[in-house]
């Protein structure tokens, strides 16, 4: 944190006794400026609520004193999307809505925002800045008239929303470019799942791929496909390789043909990609926009799925470590899409050897995606088609793709069910 950050943080908080701060979605989350605002609020005894979407889960904007601030009630942390370290999870609240709904409620003011903090990219026009590689919910917040703090960094721009006038900001600081790069190595199980899922996707389909090793393991196996389209929340670097190889063309999309649509990109090289269009969550995740897309195949993952087909992508061992993000938006749309499907892909077991296919989601685990909307479940042991199945048929199909050693216990749970508890009914 620089002196410039500290001075401008104090300016943003001037005259307040409490404030709700919204940070732009990572990688446009301005860690230095956000840390400065938290420190300035602490020094001035200003109560702070921070809404954030840290896709890395590093929470680099928090210092050692932040935990004490939370325990004393001066600082409230609210996760909008992204990952959450287990150590911090007990101290972090969350918004139990899909990403599209969060964006909508920010825009209407039902999720109030006093201060927006965003990392932006300098442009050739000094009076304007660009949102860079992540658009997200920032445009919705900008339209509310809230106070704005911008951290301007070197970088590259993408086709998308109009540039932001620099005079929209109440405080402007400068920072270094982000150097974070993700490294994902796929296990043998993930590779097998990726191959199986890719085999389901037809030529001409429009795909949405969630973040994480399992959905991203699908990408290399799509190279044999023709004329795929892309409409997703966030695009990883692997999608760009498919575009360059001519696999993803967008020619057969029924909405926005020829355009590769997302709200953000991760790990993309510093130059433009023809046909890429970054749009606000209000557009990329909007139900009517998604329903206009035929042959939409949504591929996502979860920590576990129960025999009713309900997928939990947020909790492990009773601790919330991730947000559902836009999974529910895309699962619902793909399930309803003519020629499309909602695919849930996951290894059959955890690294500790526990089954990810469970009889019932245990408390406090909740379904991120309802069983009624998941059409296909893929593990390294096979593919379970759930669409149109009865409850018993659905359970049997899921048991068949569980690890062989876990199937007897799951079958026994169906034959001798316990009294209904938690979220066992879909």
What's the pLDDT tens digit per position in 310-332? 999 999 999 999 999 999 999 99
Give the pLDDT of residue 3.
64
Question: Does one domain contain both 236 and 154?
Answer: no
- Structure confidence at residue 356 as a pLDDT band (50, 70, 90): very high
Q: How far apart are CA 359 and CA 376, in angstroms?
A: 17
Instruction: Confirm if 186 and 213 have CB atoms less than 8 A apart.
Output: yes
Q: Among residues of the chain, what percentage have pLDDT more than 70? A: 95
CATH number at residue 75: 3.40.1080.10
Between the CA atoms of 257, 259, 264 and 265, what dihedral angle is there, to the nearest 10 degrees? 130
- The mean pLDDT of 90-106, rounded to a whole number, is 96
How far is CA 212 from each of CA 26, 182, 256, 266, rounded to the nearest angstrom? 15, 10, 26, 12
Average pLDDT score over the chain? 93
Question: Does one domain contain both 112 and 211?
Answer: no
pLDDT tens for residues 189-216?
999 999 999 999 999 999 999 999 999 9
Among 7-16, 138-147, 328-337, which is the least confidently predicted range? 7-16
Question: Does one domain contain both 113 and 197?
Answer: no
CATH number at residue 197: 3.40.1080.20
- The mean pLDDT of 167-187, rounded to a whole number, is 84
How far is CA 259 from each of CA 31, 264, 273, 360, rounded to the nearest angstrom? 32, 14, 11, 41
Considering 151, 174, 197, which residue would you say is the last residue of a domain?
Answer: 174
Residue 199 lies in a domain: yes
- Tell me how long the chain is: 426
Count of beta carbons in the 10 Å neighbourhood of residue 128:
16
Task: State the DSSP H helix or E strand holding residue 151, giving kind and residue range, or none if neither.
Answer: strand 147-153
Residue 181 lies in a domain: no
Question: Does one domain contain both 268 and 290?
Answer: yes
pTM of the model: 0.93
- The mean pLDDT of 81-96, rounded to a whole number, is 95
The encoded tokens of residue 151 equal 């951290």
Q: How many domains does the chain have?
A: 2
> For the chain, first and last CA: distance in Å?
48
- Structure confidence at residue 180 as a pLDDT band (50, 70, 90): low
Give the pLDDT of residue 418.
56
Give the pLDDT of residue 237.
87
Tell me the backbone φ, ψ of residue 319, rounded to 5 degrees. -120, 135
Residue 180 lies in a domain: no
The encoded tokens of residue 66 equal 């932040």
Residue 32 lies in a domain: yes
pLDDT tens for residues 247-282?
999 999 999 999 999 999 988 765 567 899 999 999
Strand 304-306 and strand 311-312: the pairing is antiparallel
Helix, coil or strand: residue 313: coil
- The mean pLDDT of 11-15, rounded to a whole number, is 93
Phi-psi region of 267 (alpha: psi -120 to 50; beta: other; left: phi over 0): left
Helix, coil or strand: residue 370: coil
Q: How far apart are CA 213 and CA 254, in angstroms?
A: 29
Instruction: Confirm if 132 and 158 have CB atoms less than 8 A apart.
Output: yes
pLDDT tens for residues 145-168?
999 999 999 887 777 778 999 999
Question: Does one domain contain both 193 and 326?
Answer: yes
Residue 182 lies in a domain: no
Considering 114, 147, 174, which residue would you say is the last residue of a domain?
Answer: 174
Question: Does one domain contain both 46 and 154?
Answer: yes
Give the pLDDT of residue 421.
45
Among 2-11, 291-300, 317-326, 345-354, which is the least confidently predicted range? 2-11
Q: How far apart are CA 406 and CA 349, in angstroms?
A: 9
Question: Does one domain contain both 56 and 141?
Answer: yes
Instruction: Confirm if 62 and 31 have CB atoms less than 8 A apart.
Output: no
For 382, the domain range is 188-415
Question: Does one domain contain both 152 and 228?
Answer: no
Q: 292 burial class (0-12, 13-18, 19+ CB within 10 angstroms)?
A: middle
Q: How far apart are CA 212 and CA 209, in angstroms?
A: 9
* Burial state string for 243-255 with b = 16 or more CB within 10 A and e = fewer than 16: beeebbbbebbbb
């Amino acid at each position: 944190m620089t002196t410039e950050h500290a001075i401008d943080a104090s300016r943003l908080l001037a005259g307040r006794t409490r404030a709700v701060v919204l940070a732009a979605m990572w990688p446009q989350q301005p860690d230095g400026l956000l840390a400065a605002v938290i420190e300035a609020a602490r020094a001035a005894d200003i109560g702070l609520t921070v809404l954030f979407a840290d896709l890395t889960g590093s929470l680099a904007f928090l210092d050692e004193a932040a935990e004490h601030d939370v325990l004393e009630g001066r600082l409230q942390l609210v996760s909008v999307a992204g990952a959450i370290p287990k150590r911090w999870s007990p101290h972090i609240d969350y918004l139990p809505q899909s990403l599209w709904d969060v964006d909508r409620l920010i825009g209407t003011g039902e999720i109030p925002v006093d201060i927006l903090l965003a990392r932006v990219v300098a442009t050739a026009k000094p009076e304007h800045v660009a949102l860079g590689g992540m658009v997200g919910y920032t445009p919705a917040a900008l339209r509310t008239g809230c106070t704005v703090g911008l951290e301007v960094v070197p970088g590259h721009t993408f086709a998308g929303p109009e540039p932001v006038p620099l005079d929209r900001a109440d405080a402007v600081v400068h920072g270094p470019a982000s150097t974070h790069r993700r490294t994902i190595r796929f296990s043998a199980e993930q590779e097998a799942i990726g191959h199986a899922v890719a085999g389901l996707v037809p030529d001409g389909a429009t795909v949405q791929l969630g973040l994480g090793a399992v959905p991203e393991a699908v990408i290399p196996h799509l190279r044999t496909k023709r004329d795929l389209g892309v409409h997703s929340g966030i695009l990883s670097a692997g999608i760009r390789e498919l575009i360059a190889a001519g696999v993803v063309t967008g020619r057969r999309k029924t909405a926005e043909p020829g355009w590769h649509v997302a709200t953000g990109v991760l790990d993309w090289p510093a130059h433009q990609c023809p046909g890429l269009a970054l749009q606000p969550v209000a557009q990329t995740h909007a139900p009517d926009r998604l329903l206009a897309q035929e042959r939409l195949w949504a591929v996502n993952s979860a920590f576990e799925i129960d025999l009713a087909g309900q997928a939990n992508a947020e909790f492990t061992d009773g601790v919330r470590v991730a947000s559902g993000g836009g999974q529910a938006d895309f699962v619902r749309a793909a399930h309803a899409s003519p020629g499309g499907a909602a695919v849930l892909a996951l290894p059959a077991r955890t690294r500790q050897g526990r089954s990810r296919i469970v009889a019932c989601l245990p408390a406090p685990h909740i379904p991120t995606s309802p069983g009624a909307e998941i059409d296909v479940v893929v593990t390294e042991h096979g593919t379970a088609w759930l669409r149109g199945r009865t409850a018993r048929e659905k359970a049997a199909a899921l048991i068949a793709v569980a690890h062989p050693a876990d199937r007897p216990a799951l079958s026994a749970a169906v034959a001798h069910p316990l009294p209904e508890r938690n979220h066992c009914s879909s």
